[in-house]
Structure 1
Amino acid sequence: MRSAFKTKPPRYPSNWDDFPAGEHIRHAVNTVCNDYAERIFGYHFAKLGSLSAEINLHSSPIRHHINHVPFNDLVSDKLNDDDGSGGFSNRNSASGTSLNEGTGEPKKSRGNTVVGQSHCLPFAENSIDGFLLANELDFAQDPHEILREVDRVITQNGYVIISGFNPLSLAGIAKFLPVKRGNILHDARFFTSYRIKDWLQLLGFEIVEQRQIMFSTLFFQQKWKGAVKLQDYLSSYLPWCSAVYVILAKKRVIPMTAIKPKRNLKPRFSAVGASVRTSTVNRTLR
């Protein structure tokens, strides 16, 4: 198995629009993550990466959400801002969100934004109750470092939601074909869900649930009307070939309780040798 560390960091997406079918992927991942977020309780929830920051968890019972984005994503938002505020006016307010055409759902949720790298989180140990990594590991130079930081910061019995691209799908095959070579999907790592779950279990996480979504190449926009029925059919009979998977894992901490050794009890009856037993039998016969 190849090492997860990559000498050259892959290109990092600034938003879901960098993918040809980015809006379809975002909507599918958002639906599953929103369902998972209903089970996570606590005080603080962190979204790692620019893709995670655009996932709106409106059903989450946790009020305080932190968007941890890289510096280049902050600079691109600043350059694309047209209101003359330099891209920082709506960073800490809900007014910075925009609605998607047709769905009416919030596209971005930029409240409480923190700028930094995912492999070096500026949070205290045991301080975050939930994490969302929306395809963050697929564009990471060293995903092990990110998961170790998550393990350091997450609370006991905290949850982590991870989505990723499946290499055993049509999208994984199209990655190695000369199709839209300039697309950022060709730079994605495409880790299998089994490998991600193995990393999580080594860090003491319990896999709670996994869902398979998006049965397409992801390199083209879906325009066929029967795509929804085909998605339902494949999800029922061929779930292993889905283009995207979403994993929900829970941190398990086993307390180290000292067990006191039992006291050595003295036996009530002492062992009797064979010579003693024969002498007592002879006495009774006499």
Structure 2
Amino acid sequence: MKSAFRAKPPRYPTSWKDFPAGEHIRDAVKTVCDDYAEHIFGYHFAKLGSLSAEINLDTSPIRHHINQVPFDNQFGRQLDANNASEDIADNKVSPSQLHEKSSESTINKGNMVVGQSHSLPFAENSIDGFLLANELDFAQDPHEILREVDRVITQNGYVIISGFNPLSLAGIAKFLPVKRGNILHDARFFTSYRMKDWLQLLGFEIVEQRQVLFSTLFFQQRWKGAAKLQHYLASYLPWCSAVYVILAKKRVIPMTAIKPKRNLKPRFSAVGASARTSAVNRSLR
């Protein structure tokens, strides 16, 4: 299997606003993730990366969501306690009010963790669900992130992964001299087949896959008839969508003990004699 490690890490997006059609991508991915999240039950759900943190799974039965973002992310920098400590010191807000104030924002900062996706600060078998919204497309080593997810996820836990499709108009435009400053030029663009192969090697079962957005993603969507075209392409040309979303479930095969064979026959006996005959002879004496 070809290694996905890259010596030079790609530029990392701090928000969906870094993409020209970021809001459309986020809304399309969120719609699919909401449907998937309805079937994920448990106690803890982790969203890895800046893009995942901006997707609120309102329909999820799991109430405790953890947003893990890198420190250089705008929300990671907001976790710096300078402003918060100044407000508390000036008696402007109490710690409880500060938590309530943070929970009113788009991202619940009270449940935010600053760290890298390839080094998760969670115990083994402790997270019931994961969301990786295009996180692997901007990872230096996506295998390392998936191995960490496999270590932390519970038995029969779920993972939702979205990614950019190289077999699309966006994948072609990536290699064209179009908007060279666009961060999409740095995206990895892994195929869904390759992504599913990685998941299956780690013991995940692919539950469902959906294709969304049929455009270059390098320009904002302004055409009014785009919705009808999107529906047509999704029905007849799903393989050329710009974004795919995969739902996978962790499968753990239990170990079964090997039952011993019954009525074992002796493999050794004296040459020219029988144990039964010897016993009869001794009784006659």
Match of 2:231 in 1: 232
Residue 154 of structure 1 deviates from its aligned partner by 0.1
Q: Distance in 1 between matches of 2:100 and 2:71?
A: 14
Is the aligned partner of 1:95 residue 2:113? no
8 Å contact from structure 1 (residues 212, 239) kept in 2? yes
Please give the root-mean-square deviation of Cα atoms over the aligned residues, in Å.
2.1
Match of 1:70 in 2: 70
8 Å contact from structure 2 (residues 133, 162) kept in 1? yes
8 Å contact from structure 2 (residues 209, 245) kept in 1? yes
Q: Distance in 1 between matches of 2:235 and 2:152?
A: 36
* Closer, same or farther: CA 111–59 of 1 in aligned 2, 3 Å: farther
Cα-to-partner distance string for 1:141-182 (whole Å, 9 max, x where unaligned): 000000000000000000000000000000000000000000
Q: Distance in 2 between matches of 1:219 and 1:131?
A: 28
Cα-to-partner distance string for 1:14-52 (whole Å, 9 max, x where unaligned): 000000000000000000001100000000000000000
8 Å contact from structure 1 (residues 55, 109) kept in 2? no
Alignment of 1:149-164 (within 5 A): 149-164=148-163
Is the aligned partner of 1:257 residue 2:266? no
Is the aligned partner of 1:127 residue 2:126? yes
SS at match of 1:221: coil
Alignment of 1:130-141 (within 5 A): 130-141=129-140
8 Å contact from structure 1 (residues 78, 86) kept in 2? no
The count of corresponding residues between Structure 1 and Structure 2 is 252
Q: Distance in 2 between matches of 1:52 and 1:87?
A: 30
Unaligned runs of 5+ in 2: 88-97, 266-285
Residue 90 of structure 1 deviates from its aligned partner by 6.0
Alignment of 1:1-286 (within 5 A): 2-74=2-74, 78=78, 85=84, 93-97=102-106, 108-264=107-263
8 Å contact from structure 2 (residues 213, 230) kept in 1? yes
Q: Distance in 2 between matches of 1:244 and 1:114?
A: 27
* Closer, same or farther: CA 73–87 of 1 in aligned 2, 3 Å: farther
Give the letter aligned to residue 4 of structure 1.
A
Unaligned runs of 5+ in 1: 98-107, 267-286
| TM-score (normalizing by structure 1) | 0.84
Give the letter aligned to residue 214 of structure 2.
F
Give the letter aligned to residue 15 of structure 1.
S
Q: Distance in 2 between matches of 1:115 and 1:123?
A: 12
Residue 95 of structure 1 deviates from its aligned partner by 1.4
* Closer, same or farther: CA 111–155 of 1 in aligned 2, 3 Å: same
Q: What percent identity do the matched residue pairs reach?
A: 83
Give the letter aligned to residue 162 of structure 1.
I
Give the letter aligned to residue 21 of structure 2.
A
Residue 257 of structure 1 deviates from its aligned partner by 1.4
Q: Distance in 1 between matches of 2:188 and 2:155?
A: 29
Q: Distance in 1 between matches of 2:103 and 2:177?
A: 41
* Closer, same or farther: CA 86–52 of 1 in aligned 2, 3 Å: farther
* Closer, same or farther: CA 265–90 of 1 in aligned 2, 3 Å: closer
Residue 211 of structure 1 deviates from its aligned partner by 0.1
Q: Distance in 2 between matches of 1:4 and 1:92?
A: 41
Residue 85 of structure 1 deviates from its aligned partner by 4.9
SS at match of 2:176: coil
Q: Distance in 2 between matches of 1:177 and 1:87?
A: 49
Match of 2:93 in 1: none
SS at match of 2:67: strand
Give the letter aligned to residue 232 of structure 1.
H
Residue 94 of structure 1 deviates from its aligned partner by 1.7
SS at match of 2:35: helix
